[in-house]
Amino acid sequence: MPSIVVVGSSNTDLVVRAPRIPSPGETILGGNLEVVPGGKGANQAVAAARLGAAVTFVARIGTDAFGDRSIEGFRREGIDVRAIRRDPTRPSGAALIVVAEDGRNAIVVAPGSNAALSPEDVEAAADAIRAADVLVVQLETPVETVVRALDIARGSGVTTILNPAPARPLGRDVLALADWLTPNETEAASLSGLPVRSMADAEAAARALRAQGAGGVIVTLGAEGALAVWEGGTLHVPAPRVAAVDTVAAGDAFNGALAVAFGEGRGMAAAIWFACAAGTASVTRRGAQPSLPTRDEVEVVLARTTESGGGAVR
Phi/psi of residue 63, nearest 5 degrees: -95, 60
- Identify the bridge partners of residue 162 per DSSP, sorted by sequence position: 137, 181
Query: What residues are labeled active site?
Result: 252
- Angstrom CA distances, 246 to 234, 242, 251, 282, stand at 29, 11, 12, 8
What span, in angstroms and rounded, lies between the C-alpha atoms of 265 and 293? 21
What span, in angstroms and rounded, lies between the C-alpha atoms of 108 and 128? 33
For residue 245, which amino acid is it?
V
What span, in angstroms and rounded, lies between the C-alpha atoms of 191 and 288? 25
257, with CB counted inside 10 A (0-12, 13-18, 19+), is buried
